[in-house]
Structure 1
Amino acid sequence: MVLLSAAAEWYIFSASEGRIFERSADVPVRAPALVLGCSPTFMGGPNGYFYNRMDTAAELWKAGKAAVFVVSGDNSSHAYNEPEWMKRALVERGVPEDRIVCDFAGLRTLDSVVRMKEVFGVSTMIVVSQGFHNERALAIAGHEGMEAWAVSAPDVPNRRSRIKSWFRERAARIWMTLDLWLWRREPRFLGEPVALPEAKGKNDQRPMRSCSS
C-alpha cells in the first residue's frame, strides 16, 4: 500500500507539474472550463470549498479565459443536484446562463474528466477545483491524452476540514491509480455525444445552448 501510494503521488506530481495556477489570468490557454462539483452545504452549514470554487470559476469568465463552462457533478437523486447548484451560483456571479452546460453524470472525478473527452468532445480544457483535487484531475486528463491546465480555488480555513480532506485525497489517489492502470474503469454513464456551445468571445452576446435539467 505504501508503494502504491508513493507511485500515485509521483504520477500525479509528474502529470500536473507546471499546469496549475493560482490566478485565472495566468492560465496560458483559452479553453472550455470543467468545474468539478460539490454541495453548497456541509453538515448543515455553508461549504467553503463550493463557494471558493464558484468564485474562481467566475474569475475565468471575467479574465476571458473561458467562454464555456461544464459544471459536472452528482445528480444521483432528485433532491441532490450539484450541477444545478453550480449553475445557479455561476449565474449569480455574472456568468451568462447560456454559457453553462450541466453534466449530471459526474459521479466521480474520473467520470467528469473522461466525459469531457468522450461526451463533450473536448481535448483541451481548464479544470477548476481546489489544488489537491486539480492535481488528480490533471493526472486523469493526461492519462486520457488531453491537454489540461487548472486554476486552484482557495482552500478552506478550517484546519479540521483540511486534515480530513488530506486523508480522503490520499485514498482517492490510490483508487485513481487502480482505476487507471489496473481496472481500466470507464465512467458509469457515457451516452451520445453532446456538442458544446461555440466558444465565442466573452462580449459576443449571441444566444448559445443553455444548461437545463
Structure 2
Amino acid sequence: MRFGSGIAGLLRRRAGQWAVRLRRRRAQRRIYQLAVLFCAVALAPISWLWLTAGDRVGTVESAPSAPVAVVFGAGLDRGQPTPYLEHRLVGALDLYREGKVQAILVTGDNGRVEYSEPDAMFRYLVDHGVPEGRVVRDYAGFTTWDSCTRAHRIFGVDRAVLVSQDFHVRRALALCEAAGIDAYAVGVPELHDVTWLYGGLREIPGAGKAALSAWMRPDPVFLGPAEDGIPKALAQAAKR
C-alpha cells in the first residue's frame, strides 16, 4: 500500500507540474499573441502613411511647381524659430527662390499673446528676401490636421508643396490629401540625434490620430470665415 501510494502521489505531483507548465505556456502564448496584435495595430497607421505617400515625397530639387508652399510650425525659442523650424523655413525659401512656389503659407500655434509661431515664421522669411505680400499667416494651425484642413477650407489652397522634417512629412501629406489638397512633400533631413528619435517615436501615436482624422474629417479647433491672403499673394505674383 505504501509503495502504491507513493507512486500515486508522484503521479499526482507530476500531473500538477504539467498542468502548471501548460497554464504558463498558454499564458505566454496569449501574451505573445496580444503583443503581436498590439504591434500590428500600432504599426498599421505608419504603414498606411508610407504606402499612401508613394513617390510624392522628395527634395526641393525633385518637387514640382505649385502655387503655394505650406510650412508647419515647430516651436520657438525666446521668440525665434527653433533649429527644426528654421530648417523648414530654409526649405520653403529654396522653393521660392527656385521659382517652384509663388506664395508661402506659414501655419502654427498662436494660442497665447506672447507666443506666435506664424509671426516668427513670417519675420524670418521676410528678413531673408520674401516679399511681405507673398507670406500668409495661419494663426490657428494647432495640429497638423488643423493646418491642412484650414489651408484648404479657409485659405483656398488646392495644390501645394509641404515642408517639414522627414519623419513628419508623410503624415502631413496624408492629412492634406484627406483635406482636399493635391500635395507633394519635401522632407527636410536632420541629424539622427535624440530630438530626431523623439520626433520619430511621436509619429507612432501621431499616425493613429492621423488615420482617425482622415477618416472622420473633424472641424479644426477654430474654423472662421474664409481669408483672401493666398489669392492676393498669387495675384501679386501674376503681375510680375
Matched, 1:19 2:56: yes
1:50 and 1:100 map into 2 onto residues whose CA distance is: 16
The answer to whether the Cα contact below 8 Å between 2:66 and 2:159 also exists between their aligned partners in 1 is no
Q: Which residue, out of 177, 180, 205, partners 1:171?
A: 205
Matches within 5 A, 1:81-160: 81-155=116-190, 157=191, 159-160=193-194
Amino acid at match of 2:50: F
Give CA-to-partner distance per residue, 1:141-183, whole Å, 9 cap, x none: 222332100112232x3611111111112121112123333x5
1:35 counterpart residue number: 71
Task: Give the secondary structure class of the aligned counterpart of 2:186.
Answer: strand
Gaps (5+ residues) in structure 2?
1-37
Amino acid at match of 1:34: V
Q: Which residue, out of 45, 48, 56, partners 1:8?
A: 45
2:145 and 2:202 map into 1 onto residues whose CA distance is: 16
Q: TM-score, normalised by structure 1?
A: 0.85
**Deviates further, 109-118 or 3-12:** 3-12
The answer to whether the Cα contact below 8 Å between 1:64 and 1:202 also exists between their aligned partners in 2 is no
Compute the displacement of 1:199 (Å).
Answer: 2.1
The answer to whether the Cα contact below 8 Å between 1:40 and 1:51 also exists between their aligned partners in 2 is no
1:211 counterpart residue number: none
2:137 and 2:177 map into 1 onto residues whose CA distance is: 23
The answer to whether the Cα contact below 8 Å between 1:70 and 1:102 also exists between their aligned partners in 2 is yes
Larger radius of gyration: 2
2:163 and 2:235 map into 1 onto residues whose CA distance is: 20
The answer to whether the Cα contact below 8 Å between 2:159 and 2:182 also exists between their aligned partners in 1 is yes
The answer to whether the Cα contact below 8 Å between 1:15 and 1:142 also exists between their aligned partners in 2 is no
1:100 and 1:171 map into 2 onto residues whose CA distance is: 32
State percent identity of aligned pairs. 32
1:50 and 1:154 map into 2 onto residues whose CA distance is: 12
1:190 counterpart residue number: 223
Shift of the 9–81 alpha-carbon distance from structure 1 to 2, 3 Å rule, reads same
Gaps (5+ residues) in structure 1?
206-213
Which gives a bigger RCO, structure 1 or 2 (Cα 8 Å, sep 6+)?
1
If each structure's helix is expressed as a fraction of its own residues, which one has the higher value?
Answer: 2
1:209 counterpart residue number: none
The answer to whether the Cα contact below 8 Å between 1:36 and 1:72 also exists between their aligned partners in 2 is yes
2:104 and 2:81 map into 1 onto residues whose CA distance is: 23
Amino acid at match of 2:194: R
**Deviates further, 114-123 or 46-55:** 46-55
Matches within 5 A, 1:44-83: 47-83=82-118
1:210 counterpart residue number: none
Amino acid at match of 2:53: S
Compute the displacement of 1:40 (Å).
Answer: 3.4
Q: How many residues align?
A: 201
The answer to whether the Cα contact below 8 Å between 1:67 and 1:201 also exists between their aligned partners in 2 is no
The alignment's C-alpha RMSD in Å is 2.3
